[in-house]
Structure 1
Amino acid sequence: DLPEWIDTAYLAQQGWKPWRDALLEAHGPENEAALDPQAPARQRLAYDELLSNQLALALVRVAMRKVKGRAIEGDGALRTNVIDALPFKLTSSQEEALGEIYEDMAAPIRMLRLLQGDVGSGKTVVALLAMLNAIEAGGQAAIMAPTEILARQHLATIEPLAEAVGIGVVLLTGREKGKTRQAVLDKLESGEATLVVGTHALFQDDVGFRELNMAVIDEQHRFGVHQRLTLAAKGRAVDILVMTATPIPRTLMLTAYGDMDVSRLPDKPAGRLPIDTRVMPIERLGDVTQALKRSLDTGAGIYWVCPLVEESEVLDVAAAEDRHAYLKRIFGDVAGLVHGRMKGKEKDAAMEAFASRQTRILVATTVIEVGVDVPDATV
């Protein structure tokens, strides 16, 4: 018995029934036509859902804009030195994204910005420069990744550049225990450590900061809103930059992430080779296997992605477990496996083995971690 909220003239124009009538018809269809997704009752309810989603996002955005922030504007000294030390030139999209981020940080409202870019597009360097802006202004910065392998990947990228300008980087994951963990916590609380890379361990209750100004959250879809807010609550008016390597069409981005401002990194760094895509019939599986042998001989890593975990009597598509068994018979233990039914630690271990070259072929379902950068995995 909710009151009607759609304009009656618009209802008449679309030929839709009132809310209650449409709901009852959708849940109690009287004929087959009522099951059609294009049926008026179903269309009306779909419109309700989309409209309410967009209104909710609009309210969130208004609420975020009302949250007082603080202007964060460094002197550029650290950033200039890091940019000079880079072995490459920033792409135009990196420079554009940094301009948008710096503008947000300098404003007296809290930043909430999404940075989208493919693996290798340079998101981590953008995040580092944004965090150095916060550090130049006298604060601390944190970058949180969903898995330890991703956290250590960020550490490997960030640490040499940060230490070159005198900024020490600490790591906090579930692996740090006892005195090692306590030493990191003490450095964060005292302000001795200004930049921390970590996992979910960062938003535990006993983790405190002297002056957290900025939080970067990688592969943000792997974290809930509550987790994001918990980390942000560890400082005063913390600016938030969330990153994803998942390709998101612009229209979907505006729909699903309407509470965020968005920056994209469509440019690829100089020197990246063009992608060669080929479609092969299953009858030529043997030829593909021979091609894998040639690729392995050159030192390449190989992803083999399947749509299913195990064989299905309904769907005539490849299953990861069957394909892994096939490849293991041919190539032995260099063939690894990762899929969604594995426990989190098992998936992380499989990805770690592939990234560290213990395995050279990774058979996977679409659960494969898009954010993991394995530079020599070229097939």
Structure 2
Amino acid sequence: MRPPLLNPLFRPVSSLAGIGPKLAVTLRKLLGGPDPDGEPRAIDLLFHLPVAVIDRSRQPGIALSPEGAIVTLKVRIDRHQKPPRGNRRIPYRVFVHDETGELALTFFHANEPWLERMLPVGETRYVSGRMEWFNGRPSMVHPDHMVSEADFGDLPLIEPVYPMTAGLARKTLLKAVGDALDGLPDLPEWLDSRLVAERHWSTFGAALRAAHHPTAVADIEPHSPALARLAYDELLASQLALALMRAHQRRSAGKARKGDGGLRAKILDALPFTLTGSQQTALAEIDADLAQPERMLRLLQGDVGSGKTVVALLSAATTIEAGAQAAIMAPTELLVRQHARTIAPLAEAAGIRLAVLTGRERARDRAEVVAGLADGSIDLLVGTHALFQSGVEFRDLGLVVVDEQHRFGVHQRLALTAKGEATDVLVMTATPIPRTLVLTYYGDMDVSRLTEKPAGRRPIETRAIPLTRLDEVVERVRAATEDGAKAYWVCPLVEESEVLDVAAVEERYATLTAALGSGIGLVHGRMSAADRDVE
């Protein structure tokens, strides 16, 4: 299906210079890719663009180099000063000079033979790095570059800075990027010629090469010609892909699904509240979509607590009344369990056969669920991405509900809808998205909005308290819990950080336990699922 011209862009990164299977795994952490368990491709690396530059074009001379500045100096090698034998704490120094003064190049844990080859006495070298001044004497610790006069042309005076990850050397990344750029095919221009001329844009290939080889700080600015061209290409490609997907779904014959209202009536009777006006409006819009012989693709947007899950369940009930099955997919196991607890009593009241499927189910339980989906004895399935894995087959999947749409890629959503024929799709989000952004990001998707909260909700009060009054907050928590209330104390970190000055949950747990005594639980993402359930 893919034109052979594009094959160099889709080859695995392990085929690039300097990248083996081990580094390919490291790059997957940095680059991602369409398959979370697969290997990134050359195109993924090419779109991993620099975020800053190091300007090495400054060549002021030794004596005129300011403290902390990155400079490039042309120097002559005078002498090597080796540390005393057996004392690795004293650095290896190489003293050099130019017409303005003397400089010490300083190396810790030095490879002496290598330094003697790189910096032979009496020869001229270009060195580039950060200048440090101590007691009036200049020093450059571990220069970033040391090249001969003949190789000075290869020293990058404007050096790109990439987002990196542990285990990946900068030179290795640059080598792989260079190899990927060398294999970049000469693609025909696909943009309007008048637009290209008006914006003074180069070709796609030239723009990509310029982005990886900036010659000035302005080259990495978002409005630079190269990056603007690449951003336009990416946006246009995204819009075309969404348009094709939407056109395919529109061409794919849907199935009209109309229920008799029996299951829905039982759920409504079991609810401790009545539906809001916006919930009723959203359900009417969804019912109208389900009744059409075209696939539904609708976004249900509503704030936390606005009742999206109930709308999804009532929509699933209509699908089940029509003889099909429904599935609700959530991004995390915790959210799946929360949905299941909310839905279970309502499903039981209506006689809807509910099951849960995550990656944590025991083999026997999973086999029972898979069998129930295949023979139709399960009406409604709530689960994580395990739903679209191989081996999970539905008798007749009529409706897919995707919670927190932004946490799933389009290909994951399509993989789940492919489990059925003429499957309708309802995606939910708590993020307020303007209609124009919906069109831009999701394609021509219909939108329903929940603008009200269910009746009986207590008003929410928000207070900002400085840490200097932490003791008062703890006392308020003590008073509330002694009156039978519950409290949640949310921290941004699991463990204390030397980098971030924010509260860590383990430290706060110890503090609160000492202050309040028993009755305090601890839950965080590093705990096993079983331990979290116990808490």
Same fold (TM > 0.5): yes
Aligned match of 1:142: 327
Q: Contact between 1:159 and 1:168, CA under 8 Å: does it hold in 2?
A: no
Q: Is the 8 A contact 2:494 2:524 kept in 1?
A: no
Separation (CA, whole Å) in 2 of partners of 1:39 and 1:104: 45
Q: Does 1:292 align with 2:481?
A: no
Change (3 A) 1:295 1:179: same
CA apart distance, 1:114: 2.7
2:481 matches 1:304: no
Q: Does 1:34 align with 2:219?
A: yes
The residue that corresponds to 2:344 in the other structure is: 159
After superposition, the C-alpha distances for 1:208-254 in whole angstroms (9 at most, x for unaligned) are: 33322222233344445444334333322222222234554555443
Partner of 1:338: 524
**Aligned residue number for residue 235 of structure 1:** 420
TM-score by length of 2: 0.57
Task: From the superposition, tell whether residues 178 and 25 of structure 1 become closer, same or farther in structure 2 (CA, over 3 Å).
Answer: closer
Structure 1 position 259, deviation (Å): 5.8
Residue 7 of structure 1 corresponds to: 192
**Which residue identity lines up with residue 244 of structure 1 in the other structure?**
T
Q: 2: CA distance between counterparts of 1:199 and 1:183?
A: 17
- Counterpart position of 1:363: none
The aligned counterpart of 1:116 is 301
Q: Which amino acid aligns with 2:296?
A: M
The whole-number CA distance in structure 2 between the counterparts of 1:193 and 1:35 is 54
Code of the residue aligned with 1:120 in structure 2: it is G
State the AA in 2 paired with 1:302. Answer: Y
- 1:128 and 2:313 equivalent? yes
Residue 278 of structure 1 aligns to a residue whose secondary structure is coil
Quote the residue 2:448 is aligned against: 263
CA RMSD of the aligned region, Å?
A: 3.2
Is the 8 Å Cα contact of residues 327 and 335 (structure 1) preserved in structure 2? Answer: no
- Number of residue-to-residue matches in the alignment: 348
Alignment of 1:273-284 (within 5 A): 273-284=458-469
Query: Structure 1 residues 106, 331: CA separation in 2 closer, same or farther (over 3 Å shift)?
Result: same
**Does residue 1:189 correspond to 2:368, yes or no?**
no
The equivalent residue for 1:72 is 257
1:22 corresponds to which residue? 207
Shift of the alpha carbon at 1:56? 1.9
CA distance in 2, matches of 1:33, 1:175: 50
Equivalent position amino acid for 1:24 in 2:
R
Distance 1:208 1:42 in 2: 44
Q: How far did 1:121 drift?
A: 1.5
Q: Which residue of 2 aligns with 1:366?
A: none
Conserved? CA contact 1:60–1:259, under 8 Å: no
Residue 57 (1) aligns with residue 231 (2): no
Measure how far apart 1:72 and its partner are.
Answer: 1.0
> What SS does structure 2 have at the residue aligned with 1:301?
coil
Structure 1 gap segments, 5+ residues each = 359-379
Aligned residue identity for 1:160: P
1:102-124 per-position Cα deviation (integer Å, ceiling 9, x unaligned):
12212222223232333322112
- Greater displacement, 108-117 / 202-211: 202-211
How far residue 201 of structure 1 moved from its aligned partner, in angstroms, is: 4.5
The alignment partner of 1:143 has SS state of strand
Distance 1:265 1:217 in 2: 16
**Higher strand proportion (structure 1 or 2):** 2
Per the alignment, in what secondary structure is the counterpart of residue 428 of structure 2?
strand
CA shift in 2, pair 1:144/1:284, >3 Å: same
Displacement of 1:271 in angstroms is 2.3
Counterpart-to-counterpart distance in 1, 2:388 and 2:216: 52
Q: Distance in 2 between matches of 1:63 and 1:11?
A: 30
Return the offset for 1:184. 4.0
Q: Aligned partners of 2:220 and 2:245: how far apart in 1?
A: 34
Matched to 2:490, the amino acid is W
Q: TM-score, normalised by structure 1?
A: 0.78
Residue pair 1:167, 1:195 contacting (<8 A) in 2 also:
yes
Q: Which has the higher contact order (CA 8 A, sep 6+)?
A: 1
Match of 1:376 in 2: none
The alignment-based identity, stated in percent, is 55
Q: 1:375 matched to which residue of 2?
A: none
Higher normalized helix content (fraction of residues): 1
Matched, 1:106 2:287: no
In 2, the alpha carbon distance for the partners of 1:68 and 1:222 equals 28
Pair member with larger Rg: 2
